[in-house]
Each structure stands twice: as C-alpha cells, then as structure tokens.
A and B are shown apart, each in its own frame.
Chain A
Amino acid sequence: MSETIICLACYGDRLASVFDNADEFRFYKVDGEEICPAGRLSLPSKDPLDRTSAILACGVNTLICGAVCRRTQQQFCNAGIAVRPWVRGGVEDVLDAFVQDTLGSLAMPGCRAVADGGAKPGMSCCRSGKGFGRQRAGAGGDLNKSNKGRRS
C-alpha cells in the first residue's frame, strides 16, 4: 500500500476558487486509511511557475483545487501530478469527499463533468496513468473509518 501526498490549494479554510489565487497550500499524507496533515506552504510569489515548482518539490501526488487554467494544469500533468480541478468547499469537506471518492459532488457549477475527469481529453492525468484521484489499495475499501480524528 503506497503513501500518497495530496495538496489542497486553499484560500483561508476553503479551496481557493482559482488556483492562482490560493494563499496557502495544505499538504496531507494519505496512507491506507489515514489522512494526516503533512504541512502548509504559503508562497509570497503569485507566479504560477513558482507555485508549480514549489508543489512539485514537496513530492505531491495529487493536487485538488478550484478553477485552473489549462497551461498550469498541463505543467502539473507533465510532472506526473494528478490534478482534481474545479472543486469547491471547505478543507474538511474536501478531504472527506476525497476519502469517499465523491469529489464530483463538490464540483463547481457547470464543471461537474470536468471535475469528474471525463469531459475533456487531457484534463486528467496521473503518475500511474489510471486517472486521477487517490491511489487506493482496493476499489471497494472502507477507507475513511479511522481518519477523521487524525487530521487537524
């Protein structure tokens, strides 16, 4: 069972509506059934290239964010990072949805198909090439049983 690091592009305690607007990146380590905070990163630079490089340097596997332009998403994809864009909601809700594989329910209006990854070619990508999302041991695994109390 491999360990995965996910990154949430946040504004305050919610996902930033646009990736470029995020004032903080929150990292979570996903190991089997557990999600643990793995650090935060506030970058003074709003330069998308700087942000992309910083996130890449943190060993992130999956980025969850709001609206993101094609070019930035492509940069992540080229680096082998899965991107789950067009998601909205508070950090806790997003983590819950990620664990339950229901991020589609938090899709921004009019973006459901894109957030689910099926609408646009090239919109989904990941290291394993099996579509984005958390790398899970078993498709039907009950992963969120014990993780709620472990994040803060």
Chain B
Amino acid sequence: MPFPKELPFEDVLSSIADGLFTVDTDWNITYFNEAAERITGIPAEEAMGQKCRDVFHSSLCDGSCALKECIDCGGVISGKSIFIVRPDGERVPVSISAAPLRNARGEVVGGVETFRDLTELHLMRRKVEDLYSVEDIVGRSEALGKIFRILPQVSRSEATVLLLGESGTGKELFARAVHNLSDRRKGPFVAVNCGALPDTLLESELFGYKAGAFTDAKADKPGRFELARGGTIFLDEIGDLPAKLQVKLLRVLQERVYEPLGGVSPVRTDVRVVAATNRNLEALVADGDFRQDLYYRLNVVTLRLPPLRERPEDIPLLTDHFIREYNALQGKCVEGVSEDVMALLLRHGFPGNVRELENILEFAFILCGSGFIQLEHLPDSIRPLEASGYPLGMVGTLEEIKCRAVHEALERNNGKKMATCRELDISKDTLRRMLQRCGEEPAKPGE
C-alpha cells in the first residue's frame, strides 16, 4: 500500500517509538529519527553523513552487518537480537530489522534499519522470573504453579515426601526447597543416590557401621542418616533400592530407628525423608520389585514434577535464569538468546528436561562470550541441520553416515534383513558386514 502523499512522511518517522535510520550504498547515514537519537545517545546532526558502524556500535557492525546482508541477498531481516554500546558505556539490548531500499527502477539505493530497545523487556522478564520462582526453582506454568502453592505447607509439615518425575526435572532442587522451607532448614541436607552404590556399600553408607562389623572396619563410621540428624535426607533413585534395604528403610520410616552394620542396639534417628525416583513405583510394586508397605510409607505426600515438554511456557524463564546464573559464575555479559534460538528451544522436545536446557546453555556460553546466543552457538544435537550447513543425515564420517542409513533402513523394515537389503540394494553379506562394523552384530571368528 503506497504511503499517502499528502501526509508528512518525516513527521511519521519521527513519531515512531522504534529507532530508525537509513543509509546510502556507502553506508553513510541519510536519516536518523528521534527514537534512534534516544536509544543510541547520539544526536541526529552528528550521526548524519557518518558511517553507520561509527554511530550504531552494534555487535554486528564489524563483518556481520545486517544491512549488508539484506542488500547483498535482497531479503529482509526481522527481529534479530543484538546489543549496541552507547557512548556512556552502557550495553543496550536491541532487536533489529533491516531491509534494502530501492528506487522506482528497482535499483538498490541503500537500506533501512529499525531497532527496538529491549532494556525494559529484559527488566520485566527479570521481575517475572522473581515472581515465578520458589527457592532455586523457576517456572510460571500451571503444572508447576500447583506445586509452588502447596510447597510451603508441605515443607513445614514433617511428612515424608515422594518426588516423581523424569530425569532432569529438578527432583533434587525440589528436595532442597522442601528442606529450606521447613523448620529443619538449619540442619543438614544429605543427598544419597541409591542407584549409584552397590548394595553392600549402600547399606553401610546409609546406616553406618560399628567397629569390627567387617574386616577393616576399625572404627565406627556414621551413616548418612546419622549425618542428616536434625535435617533432611534425600534418597534419590529410591526405585533402585535393593529389597534388603527396603525393609530397613521401612523400619526407619515406621519406628524412626535403625541398626548400623554390626550394631546390636537400635539407633534412634531424627531426619525427615524426601525420596525421589524417575521410575514407576506403582508398576514396581505390582511386579513385586518394590515393597507395597514401603511405597505407602513414602507416598504420604507425592509431588509429580512435570517434564519440560509439558510446560514450554517455562522455557524462556528458565533460559533467562540460567543465563543470569552463568553470567554471574563466569563473569560474562551474555544478554540472552536470539529470537530464532528461542523459537528452536520452544520446539525442542527436551527428553533430558531442565538439565538438558541447562547443558545446552552451558555449551552456548563456551562459544558465546557476549551479546546474544545465536544458532551457531548451540550444540549440533539441537541446532537445525541447515544452520550447520549439512543436509539431514549427512553429518559425521562416511562410516557413520553408512551406519545410520543401515540402522534407519532396518527400523523402517521392522528389523527384516532381506527387506532392508532390497531397499538399500545391497547383498545379505554386505549388510552383515555393515552391521558388524557398526557394532550391531558380533563379528564371526576369522572375519
């Protein structure tokens, strides 16, 4: 739609809230509106006629100019997150859009760039994060909101808490939150991963032993229950607890006593138990792998932690949270993630949940020292393949690509080797050799 000729075009440009400047084909500024003056801190009369890079001072100005990209490719750029540096030394996060300018004959005569100050938005995000966080847990989703609402009351009670959730959903964070919000907060918080230790060792770790209980047990050793006295013990991976220890734990929960290895008299314990698992305890009970009575003892208050894919609205908050944390830890000035990175994160399934998001951002922090995290800073596992420059399935060594092709063909053919051979147009022997090389089948002697 053409702009009405009778309207004062310059007044319209001056009145818009976004910064706007135009350049000629030599990158000299030909127009600089009032918002641009305000955001950059540079008066229009000083900016006019100057190279845009000397005025804009953006993270793209040396070698990655958005305007140049638009003019060279004839396209437009929209909503790219970058930062500019003002003359007072302030880094200002902005979102830019750029497009080439053409004359009536269609010839490129320059470019136009608009930019929006994101400072307020960032401040608002920070306030929202503060609003939607309990202890170190960040989230604004309804699923998490329900837990947040009951967490203080649950924590203040002495009830045993069972945390259920997939790996990476933050079970230990919740356990710590329960401890920190309880009257036991001044006591110790002791975490034990029940799946990480062999059965025999786990028993002595949890309950301790007496001198002489076994060879080399020269002195008494307090167990984790003893170390957690007056505080909270967090039993992670409780679903992996061996049957023998399930009985002992049941006794602790029922009678508040246990016997250390080699001990002859029961020891009274004063701990609050928070347990967690990513396994289906009900199914384990049904299969006879987990004691029903222990399950009901643990299941006084059950909190189901939703996986990240069920609460995508938390991804921006969590992203900001981790960026702030890593900035503080590593002394960096990463402003955030670009719009396309955020779009990608929102589309991702996050099988590893919050831990996976954290790992992705930690990786990005290695490559991105300042400014906004862009697609190229992300690990290959999440980065769209077009950004890495390779078509689908063509990443890796030739051998890896072949293995992937064989594996995928097998999957498509439900594991039927003859059908796979027909699809790949290879002989049975070739398929067998491929599978051996890819480690899918053991090599026969002599091969």
Residue ranges of A at the interface with B (Cβ–Cβ < 8 Å): 11, 16-18, 20-23, 45-50, 66-71, 73, 86, 88, 108-111, 114, 120, 123
Q: Interface segment, B39-47, B133-141, B253-261, B311-319?
A: B39-47
B window 346-405: CB within 8 A of A = 368-371
A107 to chain B, nearest CB (A): 9
Contact with A along B61-86 (1 / 0, CB 8 A): 11100000000000000000000010
Given contacts A48-B332, A48-B333, A73-B89, contact A110 B62 (CB under 8 A): no
B59 at the interface (CB under 8 A from A): yes
Choose one: A47, A66, A109; the contact of B370 (CB below 8 Å). A47
What are 21 residue pairs bridging A and B, where the CB atoms are less than 8 Å apart in the complex?
Answer: A11-B63, A17-B56, A18-B85, A20-B369, A20-B370, A21-B63, A22-B62, A23-B63, A46-B369, A47-B332, A48-B333, A49-B330, A49-B331, A71-B91, A86-B87, A88-B51, A108-B55, A109-B46, A109-B55, A114-B87, A123-B89
Closest to B90 in A: A70
Do the beta carbons of B333 and A71 come within 8 Å of each other?
yes
Do the beta carbons of B91 and A21 come within 8 Å of each other?
no
B221 at the interface (CB under 8 A from A): no
The distance in angstroms between the C-alpha atoms of A20 and B83, with both chains bound, is: 11
The distance in angstroms between the C-alpha atoms of A143 and B142, with both chains bound, is: 71
Most buried by B among A50, A67, A73: A67
Contacts of A86 in B (CB 8 A): 87
Choose one: B47, B55, B62, B369; the contact of A50 (CB below 8 Å). B369
The distance in angstroms between the C-alpha atoms of A149 and B137, with both chains bound, is: 63
The distance in angstroms between the C-alpha atoms of A123 and B371, with both chains bound, is: 22
The distance in angstroms between the C-alpha atoms of A47 and B332, with both chains bound, is: 7
B58 at the interface (CB under 8 A from A): yes
Contacts of A18 in B (CB 8 A): 57-59, 61-62, 85
Do the beta carbons of A17 and B62 come within 8 Å of each other?
yes
B282 at the interface (CB under 8 A from A): no
B54 at the interface (CB under 8 A from A): yes
Do the beta carbons of B370 and A17 come within 8 Å of each other?
no
B53 at the interface (CB under 8 A from A): yes
B88 at the interface (CB under 8 A from A): yes
B95 at the interface (CB under 8 A from A): no
The distance in angstroms between the C-alpha atoms of A10 and B217, with both chains bound, is: 66
Choose one: A49, A67, A110; the contact of B332 (CB below 8 Å). A49
The distance in angstroms between the C-alpha atoms of A21 and B59, with both chains bound, is: 6
Contacts of B51 in A (CB 8 A): 88
Do the beta carbons of A108 and B369 come within 8 Å of each other?
no
Residue ranges of B at the interface with A (Cβ–Cβ < 8 Å): 40-43, 46-47, 50-51, 53-59, 61-63, 85, 87-91, 330-333, 368-371
Contacts of A66 in B (CB 8 A): 54, 57
A41 to chain B, nearest CB (A): 16
Contacts of A47 in B (CB 8 A): 332, 369-370
Choose one: A67, A88, A110; the contact of B85 (CB below 8 Å). A67
Contacts of A49 in B (CB 8 A): 330-332, 369
Choose one: B43, B54, B63, B89; the contact of A108 (CB below 8 Å). B54
A118 to chain B, nearest CB (A): 13
Closest to B64 in A: A21
Closest to A49 in B: B331
Do the beta carbons of B53 and A110 come within 8 Å of each other?
no
Most buried by A among B46, B62, B368: B62
The distance in angstroms between the C-alpha atoms of A22 and B87, with both chains bound, is: 18
Do the beta carbons of A48 and B369 come within 8 Å of each other?
yes
Given contacts A11-B63, A18-B62, A23-B62, contact A110 B42 (CB under 8 A): yes
B29 to chain A, nearest CB (A): 9
Choose one: A17, A20, A111; the contact of B53 (CB below 8 Å). A17
The distance in angstroms between the C-alpha atoms of A16 and B65, with both chains bound, is: 13
Contacts of A50 in B (CB 8 A): 369
B332 to chain A, nearest CB (A): 7
Closest to B368 in A: A46
Do the beta carbons of B89 and A68 come within 8 Å of each other?
yes
Contacts of A71 in B (CB 8 A): 89, 91, 333
B358 to chain A, nearest CB (A): 19
Contacts of A16 in B (CB 8 A): 62
B119 to chain A, nearest CB (A): 14
Contacts of B62 in A (CB 8 A): 11, 16-18, 21-23
Given contacts A11-B62, A18-B57, A22-B62, contact A109 B85 (CB under 8 A): no
Choose one: A22, A46, A109; the contact of B42 (CB below 8 Å). A109
The distance in angstroms between the C-alpha atoms of A73 and B90, with both chains bound, is: 11
In the complex, the 6 A-B pairs of residues with the closest C-beta atoms, listed nearest first: A47-B369, A70-B89, A110-B42, A67-B57, A21-B62, A11-B62
Given contacts A18-B58, A48-B369, A88-B54, contact A69 B46 (CB under 8 A): no
